[in-house]
Structure 1
């Protein structure tokens, strides 16, 4: 028995919650390193401060995948309870994040935020496979990418919008996150919970008995328990997952480098507006520590030092707003990629492997161009447009290829286990991998983006390892 094909708006509603998920990810990706710098983190330590994010994914996603496969609630179904729980926790973390008073507090909230987003995200991937026949799965993942693109662009532009349009200040005292960023995170929290509720209230899931009918057999496999099942899945993962894992490794290493180091790299190399170090302007005691007055206000060396710091900090904040805004372009171009692919795949067959290969090559080129455009921020539009083609493909093609080769009864678990190929490269990058490779090329922070470009090119050619015809070929519905 075949699953019925769904109409566009049915697929749109079931994917709409990804708008909120992407608001969380985009604010995190475009603004988190800025928050760390504002709170006094050294540039080379920023990737390590991000390590909580991939660690949360490594632990949470397989567990959530397993639990969502085993869950059935008469009102909320299988996946939707996890959407709702993740949205509530994520919204709380988003509200608190910009009010962090220290680096350790921001890093801790990043752990909570990323773990909470993961609770919502992987069940969304599995929901597409649950609801759609194989002939519509590429179409479904592409629509998810379309919604993700909208969320990326809007969320990345929020701090600049708050400052330029609503006149909310992007300046603050040393060590304090600007009000424009705080309001952006509040908006993100509202959008996150609101968009998840649209999916929860508008989408009906198939019951376990209906899923058995679609499979043509009952699921009689013995439940060995969560730990044994997850470990067993790691040990016996299909070949297609291992090959896609190599592609994912290089892809996500590249994007982690962008999320963690694009702001310090681009504000310095493109805008010539690095974050000023307060120690260079403030009065210091004999131990080199910053001195404060009775009200815990920093004492500057003199009035000119205070004015110089505020001028440089204003340039940095304006540059950071613009970097975040231009990073949002990769959301727009991924949306364009998804839109074109949606129309094309509704009528014509595609070779998923070659689509992914070509898209990753374009993204790698986008990163490499950044080194050659100091002082020319407008060229970042081209760079992030190319990067968006890669991002749009990363969010759709690997999952479409994998879902064509996995049993639906294990879809949530498999999607969660597949996440190891997303988080492991990020952990390696966070533990010093990206900074180490960057310094092999040169001391300039822009070389982190060069490393990202090289890794995306390696990811592109790794697609040639994939030979499973069922995974590669897509026929329209």
Structure 2
């Protein structure tokens, strides 16, 4: 944590010192923003109507990506505990109904939870390594789509893996999707913006990160219940498979994106 904090502080200082912001007048001239346009007030609804197509198409890809990762953060512990560490189950009563759940107090479950922390670290390493490779591809949509497919394969492969060390491969692949998700959507969007209200558009675009997670959290329990036979342990590993399917759908949707330069009408 100390090392991570030091890296973060150094990166912030380096960015602050090295990145020079355009003076407002120069920025307006560069983007062709007139004085009248700068003074004009416009609400968010009108901005969304004038948003470039890339805003919506990249947002669609974002929906499937962040939906998938919400499932990962929610169901990886249970999946690894049951599928790899053979954690025991217990019977519990919830709202008068008997349910079979994993024994979270068992040593197997505790070991699984510890191992998930290691797996998430492996995912982070995979994302850093893949982030170095992404700029080598000139076709941005190709590398975006490929990254999501690799992540999807990583998620789906967890269903078949019963060795804790083989899971390293799965999470390295998931890291590829994570790297692309953090870099490419904002690159594509900012290229499509002409300069006017860019900050507002980027703020609105953050909704494509939050909303999918809210939807996934709301529907997750109901979806898991559909996979669960009566009187059986809920198969949380199925949710990771679904996360993989969602990433692959997102990879297909990447090809709906039309990359443009300064597409949206200035307001």
TM-score (norm 2): 0.80
Q: Give yes or no for the alignment of 1:262 onto 2:76.
A: yes
Distance verdict in 2 for CA 1:407–1:274, change over 3 Å? farther
Preserved contact between residue 233 and residue 417 of structure 1 (Cα < 8 Å): no
Correspondence for 1:394 among 156, 177, 181:
181
Preserved contact between residue 258 and residue 452 of structure 1 (Cα < 8 Å): yes
Deviation readout 1:25-74 (Å, 9 max, x if unpaired):
xxxxxxxxxxxxxxxxxxxxxxxxxxxxxxxxxxxxxxxxxxxxxxxxxx
Correspondence for 1:460 among 247, 251, 254:
251
Matches within 5 A, 1:215-294: 215-218=31-34, 220-221=36-37, 223=39, 229-273=43-87
The aligned residue for residue 231 of structure 2 is none
Preserved contact between residue 373 and residue 379 of structure 1 (Cα < 8 Å): yes
The aligned residue for residue 409 of structure 1 is 196
Correspondence for 1:211 among 27, 31, 42:
27
Distance verdict in 2 for CA 1:447–1:259, change over 3 Å? same
Residues matched between the structures, number: 247
Preserved contact between residue 364 and residue 457 of structure 1 (Cα < 8 Å): yes
Correspondence for 1:373 among 146, 158, 161:
161
For residues 252 and 234 of structure 1, what CA distance do their matches in structure 2 show?
21
The aligned residue for residue 149 of structure 2 is 361
Task: Return the offset for 1:366.
Answer: 0.7
Distance verdict in 2 for CA 1:447–1:188, change over 3 Å? farther
Matches within 5 A, 1:441-452: 441-442=227-228, 443-452=234-243
Task: Return the offset for 1:213.
Answer: 3.7
The aligned residue for residue 334 of structure 1 is 127
For residues 382 and 229 of structure 1, what CA distance do their matches in structure 2 show?
47
For residues 213 and 40 of structure 2, what CA distance do their matches in structure 1 show?
30
Deviation readout 1:397-450 (Å, 9 max, x if unpaired):
22211111102232221111112222111111111x123223333431111101
For residues 168 and 50 of structure 2, what CA distance do their matches in structure 1 show?
43
Higher relative contact order, chain-length normalized (CA < 8 Å, sep 6+): 2
Matches within 5 A, 1:24-63: none
For residues 151 and 226 of structure 2, what CA distance do their matches in structure 1 show?
22
